[in-house]
């Protein structure tokens, strides 16, 4: 019974009255097919083949299920999301942009996020300008950029097509059917997972990077020796390991890519070059990066190159200054390092610095607490209301510049993701907002919301 080609399947989901049936009818044109549903569900469900541009896809409306599931909002929502998860490749989640985001929308949004199905957020009834505030507010659902739509007037269909194409698997048109049944565990998962939608929970991915002879191998052996080594090779063999897991105060930590250490035995002259490249590779796989430097040499240009790269990649970082046992004028050396960081790494203020000796073990116990602190900051989500209060105050204190007589205004901000914390700012003229103003805001956010040393991402968007 396998059809010759499998179309992308989209489910329309949302609370009552947001315009699901209207959208379904628009997408389906006149070719609405009423098909008998699976046993157990009393209502027929509407399903049709839709065309937008060159894309043909199957679309079904879950509104019928809503009624079949009875009175409880929870049950109706569950019925819709369960079905969407079971049968669809992508969920079209509708809200009413005129009404704004309601508690029920939030509830739905959370349940959908927990399913990890691709979701396209549609802010419907957005014809004219009536829905603008609601469209902006929709960002706060944490489901990415909303598509402004008017199902009734047929507006926004091109944007919907773009979003569908982005979510369509590359082989959507050609993949054979029979791979359904994804995410069977949804019912158990419920609406948890509010905070981990950006990555599944798992070990903290840690990389120790730095130049040859900074003491990386010594430090890793020390860390593993101090903690209970649960998997991986014996200490001393770490140079051949790809990744090592261990547990520290209940937190699983995975040490990623020890290639820099692995290559140690190879040709000495290549080491300098290799170490930077290895470091950059390791950074990609890590969430938190420990940049280890030799305290006797201080922070040099190559270290700063790696540090800048860590910040650019949006990873959290701790600077560990090793061989502290050999450093004589410690106060001066530390001050030097702090100043170099301050001057040369302006994009990330306040990276924690831990001075230690991997060889003697002194203060090595301070490293992982610093790592965990930065990890916690890196995963944080700021409440939208607080964020916007900050934004208003920051603009009052230092208004953005005026451009050709018209003052720039940031109307609204919302955190669109964590890891690293990423914010969308809605500006009347986004292209005019100077980088210096964004840095001012980033520094303010770091200070006020305990995000010291965390690379933040601020994106500007057009907003009236």
Interacting residues with ligand GDP (CB under 6 A) = 14, 16-22, 63, 124-125, 127, 150-153, 210, 212-218, 261, 264, 322-323, 325-326, 357-359
388 annotated among ligand-binding-site residues: no
Q: Quick check: 119 and 145 in contact, CB under 8 A?
A: no
Nearer to ligand GDP among residue 293 and residue 442 (C-beta): 293
Element (H, E) at 390: helix 384-397
Q: How far is the CB of 90 from ligand GDP (least distance, A)?
A: 18
Nearer to ligand GDP among residue 179 and residue 234 (C-beta): 234
Longest dimension (CA), the chain: 83
Q: How far is the CB of 117 from ligand GDP (least distance, A)?
A: 19
124 annotated among ligand-binding-site residues: yes
Nearer to ligand GDP among residue 31 and residue 405 (C-beta): 31
Q: How far is the CB of 459 from ligand GDP (least distance, A)?
A: 27
331 annotated among ligand-binding-site residues: no
Nearer to ligand GDP among residue 264 and residue 366 (C-beta): 264
Nearer to ligand GDP among residue 213 and residue 384 (C-beta): 213
- Euclidean distance between CA atoms 77 and 162, whole angstroms: 27
Reading the block at residue 175, the tokens are: 């993949």
Q: How far is the CB of 138 from ligand GDP (least distance, A)?
A: 14
Q: How far is the CB of 82 from ligand GDP (least distance, A)?
A: 18
Reading the block at residue 377, the tokens are: 């900051």
383 annotated among ligand-binding-site residues: no
Q: How far is the CB of 282 from ligand GDP (least distance, A)?
A: 12
Q: What SS3 state is found at 2?
A: coil
Q: What is the DSSP letter of 239?
A: G
Nearer to ligand GDP among residue 213 and residue 428 (C-beta): 213
Q: What is the DSSP letter of 155?
A: B
171 annotated among ligand-binding-site residues: no
DSSP notation for 343-359: HH-TTS----EEE--TT
Reading the block at residue 279, the tokens are: 């470091």
323 annotated among ligand-binding-site residues: yes
Q: How far is the CB of 263 from ligand GDP (least distance, A)?
A: 10
117 annotated among ligand-binding-site residues: no
CA atoms within 13 A on the CB side of 129: 2
Residue identified by tokens 């510049």 is 401
Q: Quick check: 57 and 9 in contact, CB under 8 A?
A: yes
Nearest to 137 by CA among 153, 150, 121, 152: 121
Integer angstrom CA distances of residue 269 from 258, 265, 433: 19, 11, 47
275 annotated among ligand-binding-site residues: no
260 annotated among ligand-binding-site residues: yes
213 annotated among ligand-binding-site residues: yes
Nearest to 390 by CA among 308, 445, 464: 445
- Tell me how crowded residue 44 is: count the other CB atoms within 10 A of its CB: 12
20 annotated among ligand-binding-site residues: yes
Scanning 45-199, the segments in alpha helix (DSSP H) are 63-68, 73-87, 103-115, 132-138, 157-167, 186-189
- Euclidean distance between CA atoms 326 and 340, whole angstroms: 21
Q: How far is the CB of 278 from ligand GDP (least distance, A)?
A: 11
Return all residues near 343 (Cβ < 8 A) that are at least 6 apart.
none
Q: How far is the CB of 444 from ligand GDP (least distance, A)?
A: 37
- Tell me how crowded residue 444 is: count the other CB atoms within 10 A of its CB: 16
- Euclidean distance between CA atoms 80 and 450, whole angstroms: 39
- Terminal C-alpha separation, the chain: 52
307 annotated among ligand-binding-site residues: no
Nearer to ligand GDP among residue 314 and residue 361 (C-beta): 361
18 annotated among ligand-binding-site residues: yes
Nearer to ligand GDP among residue 18 and residue 206 (C-beta): 18
Q: What SS3 state is found at 415?
A: strand
Q: How far is the CB of 380 from ligand GDP (least distance, A)?
A: 31
Nearer to ligand GDP among residue 271 and residue 403 (C-beta): 271
- Euclidean distance between CA atoms 110 and 88, whole angstroms: 18
Nearer to ligand GDP among residue 8 and residue 63 (C-beta): 63
Residues annotated as binding site?
A: 14-21, 61-65, 124-127, 210-217, 257-261, 322-325
Residues annotated as binding site for GTP?
A: 14-21, 61-65, 124-127, 210-217, 257-261, 322-325
């Amino acid at each position: 019974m396998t059809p010759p080609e499998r179309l992308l399947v989209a489910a329309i989901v949302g609370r009552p009255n947001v315009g699901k049936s209207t959208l379904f009818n628009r997408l389906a044109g006149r070719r609405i097919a009423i098909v008998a549903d699976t046993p157990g569900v009393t209502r027929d469900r509407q399903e049709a083949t839709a065309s937008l541009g060159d894309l043909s896809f199957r679309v079904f409306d879950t509104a019928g299920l809503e009624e079949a599931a009875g009175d409880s909002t929870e049950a109706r929502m569950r019925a819709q999301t369960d079905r969407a998860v079971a049968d669809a490749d992508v969920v079209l989640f509708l809200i009413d942009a005129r009404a704004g985001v309601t508690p029920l929308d939030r509830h739905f949004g959370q349940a959908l996020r927990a399913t990890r199905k691709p979701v396209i957020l549609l802010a419907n009834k957005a014809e004219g300008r009536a829905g603008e505030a609601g469209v902006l507010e929709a960002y706060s659902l944490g489901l990415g950029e909303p598509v402004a739509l008017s199902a009734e007037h047929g507006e926004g269909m091109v944007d919907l097509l773009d979003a569908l194409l982005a979510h369509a698997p590359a082989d959507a048109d050609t993949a054979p059917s029979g791979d359904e049944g994804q995410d069977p565990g949804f019912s158990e998962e419920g609406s948890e997972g509010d905070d981990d939608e950006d990555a599944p929970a798992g070990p903290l991915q840690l990389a120790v990077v730095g130049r040859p002879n900074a003491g990386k191998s010594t430090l890793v052996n020390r860390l593993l020796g101090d903690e209970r080594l649960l998997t991986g090779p014996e200490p001393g063999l770490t140079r051949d390991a790809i990744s090592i897991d261990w547990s520290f105060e209940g937190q699983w930590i995975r040490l990623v890519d020890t290639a820099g250490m692995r290559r140690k035995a190879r040709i000495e002259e290549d080491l300098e070059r290799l170490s930077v490249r290895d470091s950059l590779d390791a950074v990609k796989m890590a969430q938190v990066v420990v940049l280890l430097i030799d305290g006797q040499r201080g922070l040099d240009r190559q270290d700063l190159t790696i540090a800048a790269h860590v910040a650019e990649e949006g990873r959290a970082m701790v600077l560990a200054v090793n061989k502290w046992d050999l450093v004589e004028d410690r106060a001066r050396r530390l001050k030097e390092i702090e100043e170099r960081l301050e001057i040369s790494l302006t994009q990330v203020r306040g990276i924690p610095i831990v001075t230690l000796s991997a060889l003697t073990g002194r203060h090595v116990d301070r490293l992982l607490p610093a790592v965990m602190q930065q990890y916690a900051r890196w995963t944080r989500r700021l409440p939208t209301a607080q964020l916007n209060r900050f934004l208003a105050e920051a603009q009052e204190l230092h208004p953005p510049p005026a451009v050709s007589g018209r003052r720039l205004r940031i109307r609204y901000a919302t955190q669109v993701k964590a890891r690293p914390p990423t914010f969308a700012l809605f500006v009347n003229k986004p292209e005019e907002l100077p980088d210096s103003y964004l840095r001012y805001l980033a520094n303010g956010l770091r200070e006020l919301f305990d995000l010291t040393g965390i690379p933040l991402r601020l994106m500007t968007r057009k907003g009236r």
